[in-house]
A and B are shown apart, each in its own frame.
Chain A
Amino acid sequence: MTREISVTVNGTVYRKQVPVRLLLVDFIRDVLDLTGTHQGCTYEGVCGACTVQLNGEAVKSCMMLAVQADGQQVTTIEGLARNGVLHPLQKAFKEHHGLQCGFCTSGMIMNAEEFLRTNPRPTEDEIRHALIGNICRCTGYQGIVAAVSAAAEEMSAAGTPAKSGS
């Protein structure tokens, strides 16, 4: 069984006929070929590698069907840098060695981006708790936490709270 859906992803409207059981993560990766969103567990919603934003809110795209995104706005890691300018989180992850293999990174950043909109000046402890839904196997989290903290500072200093994902 298939259904036509219309989803806005990173600002572009996609109208596609999809099987009703297609997962959102597979729609993003296989139908739209946006492979920056990763899959680290199997329909468990535990690892967070598949995290994207739905109407600006971080969601695990392996836990949703593509048809549930019909008419909604999705932002993936590919949509975060604007006009070739990296988001402060992306810059801070590089500066603070917040990634090794990079497999968790897209999900981490999409989650952290929403978090910093809700809490622009977080403590270290708040950052650590905000990230419990994203597993990183390489870094020991320290570089990630430092990066989120540095990005928060940079964004607050610049007076540019992150835009809502759309």
Chain B
Amino acid sequence: MTTVEKGWIGARYTRREDLRLLTGKGQYLADLRVVRDPLVVKFVRSSVAHALIKSIDVSAAAKLPGVVAVLTGADIRDKIRPLPTPSTVPLLPGHYPTHWPLAVERVRFHGEPVAAVVATDKYTAEDAVELVQVEYEDLPPITDPEKALLADSPLVHPDIGTNVMFSMVLTGGLTEAEQAANKARVDSIFATADVVVKERFYGHRCGVMPLETRGAVASFDPEAGLRVWMSTQRPHIDRLVFSELFDIPQNQVQVSAPRDQGGAFGVKAPVYREPIMIVYLTKLLGRPVQWIETREEHLMAVSQERDQIHELELAADKQGRILGLRDRVIADNGDSCEGVFWGFIMPFYGAALVPNAYHIPDCDISITAVATNKSALSPARAFGSLPGRFALDRAIDMLARKVGKDAADVRRMNLITQLPCNIATGVHYDSGNFVGVWDKLVQHIDVPRFRQEQRAARAEGRYIGLGFGVAVHASGVASEALVPMEGQPGYGSATLKMDSSGTVTVFEGDAPQGQGHETTMAQIAAEILGLDPEDVTVRVGDTNNTPFASGTFGARGGSYTASAVAMAAKAIRDKIVKVVAHDHKLEPDPAHFRFEAKSIWHKDRAEALTSMAGVCNRIIMKPLDLPAGADASLEHTAFFEAKEPMMAFSAHAAIVEADPASGEFRILRYISSEDVGRVINPLIVEGQVRGGVVQGLSNAMFEEFIYDENGQQLTSSMENYMLANAADVPNIEILHADTPCEHTPLGTRGMGEGVPGPVPGALCNAICDALEPFGIEIRDLPVRPDRVWALLQAARARAAG
């Protein structure tokens, strides 16, 4: 146990979760033994990108001993309601293609489920998958989103009549007239600006694949209802959708996220095909059914994000002050079949955040999300905004070169100083101190000294460089923004129950996957109630005993859920004060009482009035002579809603050494300066930052989903979809520049979600800075030595040319 001087909130308290996980006692989905002898499901997946299904022969598979059922799209299309359903559709104007859990009539990407095999064990199920014969009639694969926009392009969804699934212009205008006026203003800014930077950037298809894949276990009993255990970030949303799809009242559906989940980072938030099929199968067969996704399936079907082209333009004055921004964003949306997110919610949100932390008075940003024969984009940490961060932070370095200034100075000059504010796209930034976070970073690095070292190194033939990237990222999303975007609420909720021995149980309807809620939420409740975190047990993710919650995503925990826990704890504390005051004939003013060391103290008494155990037992078990209006309940459910979205801010710097002969580069230092509001537990915050930065580096340098011109996905194994390992990455230095958030009861902010966003920009800016004498500019991700080498060759040819 950590010793604590000032209180639990802010303490570097080691995690409550760790002991079980370190001794092999974690209970992840595949470890649960909650149903007896479940049947095992494996999916047959399309081997082609785009085709009509001519026939599916399941006879050989069905005959295999141990196979219980083999179903195809034709078997289910009249049995299962397709998506979209009301609770899986955002309130945005887009196309939401109708789809079933198994492909019906045609396949739209390499890896789409076409049949489901149910068997008594997984080895048999896998054998049976091999025996299913699918005959396809190939259709032309659509793999390039720009070509898919051409009038003569074949269509991914002919019934929709266009490949454009979503498009929007973001200028801050609400009416057409306002949009036109804003665009005209941007045009005139560009026409008269001293300096214009106009570049095309590409943030490639990659994501944040968690180490535990997806999966679901389900059982159904007409009496008891539907029971689903699944690896998910949003059990309450899943319950809603299963109820809606299968006509089971919500109170007959119980969805439980396991206490332990092996990461998610966004991937486990959508409503996907496979769990729907698992629920259908358990109802159909009357037996428990289990599906644990293989890594290959995971890499074929999900975890693919980013994939945006940005044609970005900056208008600036001679000093480098940005006056206006234009950006034409094209997102490769894949087949676009994915409940709640539909591929395009991420690039839409990313487009709205393109201006990032910079004060850019006028913007004209358009986002076009285009269907292709690839897997639908699925959410990933830095939700939709990684390519835009990369593009703008690269463009700012190019601008700095044009105006002959240090990129650090141009950045600082353009940082937002007035908070709160609405940026040009209409997004609200609530509070913080961007310049403070920034200054802490550049002072720590000592930029002038770095420049001296850089010059000295160059004189010796060594090329070192410094690059920056910044990110304003969501600390959860308020209902005000989430209802239009996803048709779902954003509030945080928690139930606290005190028992007669004076210990607490917190019930939280979110479903964490490594964020340490059992620790942080316990710290909050313990501090407010004067207990130790050991006295607080946190239960998560079960729809049967938790209040409705939107789930664990978008860094909601530290802002919304933590606030609800604090509110519920305060409500219980106030109630206890009333009873204690009554019992001791004291004035019931909460300010006169302290909750400390598991006891309750009064300002005028040296001795504790009562222990927490004593008073809880007295209220719950001996509810006699209670003050007027009080009852025996020491339970409280609180909902926290923010009026406007809250944001966290990070500024990152990378220092690299690059080799102009080979294009190889090495990260010498990586530094992050963060404002995450009041910190609940620095250990956990630092873990989130380090993990997020390494995901960003891994995205930038290694990971890449590759489809060939036929739409064949070539990266469905971890051999090919490469992730950073321990030897690939540096230690991450972390600076805290925290400003308590004014809009939460404790001053906390959620953080962690957006951390990978600024990383590729910082890294590539550093590489370009190192190789500045050779004049290269990186515009495309990923960045790898061979690509840097190619840029160097081209630059040399230009110089010679």
> Measuring CB to CB, which residues of chain A are less than 8 angstroms from any residue of chain B?
19, 21-22, 29, 33-42, 44, 46-47, 49, 76-78, 80-81, 86, 90, 93-95, 97, 99-106, 109, 125, 127-129, 131-145
Q: Please report the C-alpha to C-alpha distance between residue A41 and residue B293 in the assembled complex, in whole angstroms.
A: 10
In the complex the two chains form, is A140's CB within 8 Å of B690's CB? Answer: yes
In the complex the two chains form, is B18's CB within 8 Å of A47's CB? Answer: no
Contact among A29, A78, A140, A145 for B23, CB-based, below 8 A:
A78
Please name 23 pairs of A and B residues whose Cβ atoms are closer than 8 Å in the assembled complex, sorted by A: A35-B27, A35-B30, A40-B212, A46-B719, A49-B211, A78-B24, A86-B22, A93-B18, A94-B19, A97-B687, A99-B22, A102-B22, A128-B727, A132-B727, A135-B723, A136-B726, A137-B263, A140-B694, A141-B694, A141-B725, A142-B690, A144-B726, A145-B726
In the complex the two chains form, is B686's CB within 8 Å of A101's CB? Answer: no
Instruction: Number of B interface residues at 8 Å Cβ cutoff, please give it.
Output: 55
Q: How far is the CB of B689 from chain A (nearest CB, A)?
A: 8
Which chain B positions have C-beta within 8 A of A37? 24
B740 at the interface (CB under 8 A from A): no
In the complex the two chains form, is B22's CB within 8 Å of A101's CB? Answer: no
B732 at the interface (CB under 8 A from A): yes
Which chain A positions have C-beta within 8 A of B212? 38, 40, 101, 103
Top 9 A-B pairs ranked by shortest CB distance? Answer: A36-B24, A103-B262, A101-B514, A102-B21, A140-B694, A140-B690, A100-B514, A35-B31, A77-B24
Q: Please report the C-alpha to C-alpha distance between residue A95 and residue B18 in the assembled complex, in whole angstroms.
A: 10
In the complex the two chains form, is B23's CB within 8 Å of A36's CB? Answer: yes
Q: How far is the CB of A55 from chain B (nearest CB, A)?
A: 20
In the complex the two chains form, is A105's CB within 8 Å of B15's CB? Answer: no
Q: How far is the CB of B380 from chain A (nearest CB, A)?
A: 12
Q: How far is the CB of A98 from chain B (nearest CB, A)?
A: 9
B644 at the interface (CB under 8 A from A): no
Which chain B positions have C-beta within 8 A of A137? 208-211, 263, 265, 691, 695, 723
In the complex the two chains form, is B14's CB within 8 Å of A94's CB? Answer: yes
Q: Please report the C-alpha to C-alpha distance between residue A31 and residue B622 in the assembled complex, in whole angstroms.
A: 50
Which chain B positions have C-beta within 8 A of A93? 18, 22
Which chain A positions have C-beta within 8 A of B693? 140
Q: A94-B18, A101-B261 are in contact. Are A40 and B295 (CB under 8 A)?
A: yes
B294 at the interface (CB under 8 A from A): yes
Report whether over half of chain A's contact residues are helix, strand or loop; otherwise say mixed: loop
In the complex the two chains form, is A138's CB within 8 Å of B24's CB? Answer: no
Which chain B positions have C-beta within 8 A of A46? 717-719
In the complex the two chains form, is B514's CB within 8 Å of A86's CB? Answer: no
Contact among A34, A38, A109, A139 for B691, CB-based, below 8 A:
A139
Which chain A positions have C-beta within 8 A of B260? 101-102
In the complex the two chains form, is B726's CB within 8 Å of A131's CB? Answer: yes
Q: A21-B123, A35-B30, A44-B717 are in contact. Are A105 and B723 (CB under 8 A)?
A: no
- Looking at B24, B263, B691, which has the most chain A CB atoms within 10 Å of its CB? B24
In the complex the two chains form, is A36's CB within 8 Å of B690's CB? Answer: no
B178 at the interface (CB under 8 A from A): no
Contact among B30, B516, B727, B731 for A142, CB-based, below 8 A:
B731
In the complex the two chains form, is A142's CB within 8 Å of B24's CB? Answer: no
Q: A102-B21, A140-B732, A142-B690 are in contact. Are A36 and B26 (CB under 8 A)?
A: yes
Which chain A positions have C-beta within 8 A of B24? 34-37, 76-78, 106
Q: A41-B718, A142-B690 are in contact. Are A94 and B15 (CB under 8 A)?
A: yes
Q: A44-B719, A99-B21 are in contact. Are A142 and B262 (CB under 8 A)?
A: no
Q: How far is the CB of B249 from chain A (nearest CB, A)?
A: 33
In the complex the two chains form, is B514's CB within 8 Å of A44's CB? Answer: no
- Looking at A34, A127, A143, which has the most chain B CB atoms within 10 Å of its CB? A143
Which residue of chain A lies nearest to B20 when distances are taken between CB atoms in the complex?
Answer: A102
A33-B33, A102-B26, A134-B725 given; 6 more Cβ-contact pairs under 8 Å = A35-B31, A93-B18, A99-B22, A101-B263, A101-B513, A131-B725
Which residue of chain B lies nearest to A22 when distances are taken between CB atoms in the complex?
Answer: B123
Which residue of chain B lies nearest to A37 when distances are taken between CB atoms in the complex?
Answer: B24
Q: How far is the CB of A65 from chain B (nearest CB, A)?
A: 12
Which residue of chain A lies nearest to B263 when distances are taken between CB atoms in the complex?
Answer: A101
Q: Please report the C-alpha to C-alpha distance between residue A89 and residue B686 in the assembled complex, in whole angstroms.
A: 20
In the complex the two chains form, is B727's CB within 8 Å of A129's CB? Answer: yes
In the complex the two chains form, is A101's CB within 8 Å of B211's CB? Answer: yes
Which chain B positions have C-beta within 8 A of A104? 211
Which chain A positions have C-beta within 8 A of B683? 97
Interface string of B154-179 (1 = CB under 8 A from A): 00000000000000000000000000
Q: Please report the C-alpha to C-alpha distance between residue A76 and residue B514 in the assembled complex, in whole angstroms.
A: 22
Q: Please report the C-alpha to C-alpha distance between residue A128 and residue B295 in the assembled complex, in whole angstroms.
A: 24
Q: How far is the CB of B36 from chain A (nearest CB, A)?
A: 14
Interface string of B1-42 (1 = CB under 8 A from A): 000000000000011011101111111101101000000000
In the complex the two chains form, is B14's CB within 8 Å of A97's CB? Answer: yes
Q: Please report the C-alpha to C-alpha distance between residue A102 and residue B28 in the assembled complex, in whole angstroms.
A: 10
Q: Please report the C-alpha to C-alpha distance between residue A45 and residue B31 in the assembled complex, in whole angstroms.
A: 20
Which chain A positions have C-beta within 8 A of B729? 140-141
In the complex the two chains form, is B18's CB within 8 Å of A41's CB? Answer: no
B296 at the interface (CB under 8 A from A): yes
Which residue of chain B lies nearest to A130 when distances are taken between CB atoms in the complex?
Answer: B726
Which chain A positions have C-beta within 8 A of B686? 97
B561 at the interface (CB under 8 A from A): no
Which chain B positions have C-beta within 8 A of A139? 687, 690-691, 694
Q: How far is the CB of A149 from chain B (nearest CB, A)?
A: 12
Q: Please report the C-alpha to C-alpha distance between residue A149 and residue B210 in the assembled complex, in whole angstroms.
A: 26
Q: Please report the C-alpha to C-alpha distance between residue A44 and residue B24 in the assembled complex, in whole angstroms.
A: 22
Q: Please report the C-alpha to C-alpha distance between residue A78 and residue B516 in the assembled complex, in whole angstroms.
A: 22
Q: How far is the CB of A128 from chain B (nearest CB, A)?
A: 4
Contact among B209, B262, B295, B727 for A102, CB-based, below 8 A:
B262
B515 at the interface (CB under 8 A from A): yes
B684 at the interface (CB under 8 A from A): yes
Q: How far is the CB of B469 from chain A (nearest CB, A)?
A: 16
In the complex the two chains form, is B725's CB within 8 Å of A36's CB? Answer: no
In the complex the two chains form, is B14's CB within 8 Å of A143's CB? Answer: no
Which chain B positions have C-beta within 8 A of A76? 24
In the complex the two chains form, is B690's CB within 8 Å of A90's CB? Answer: no
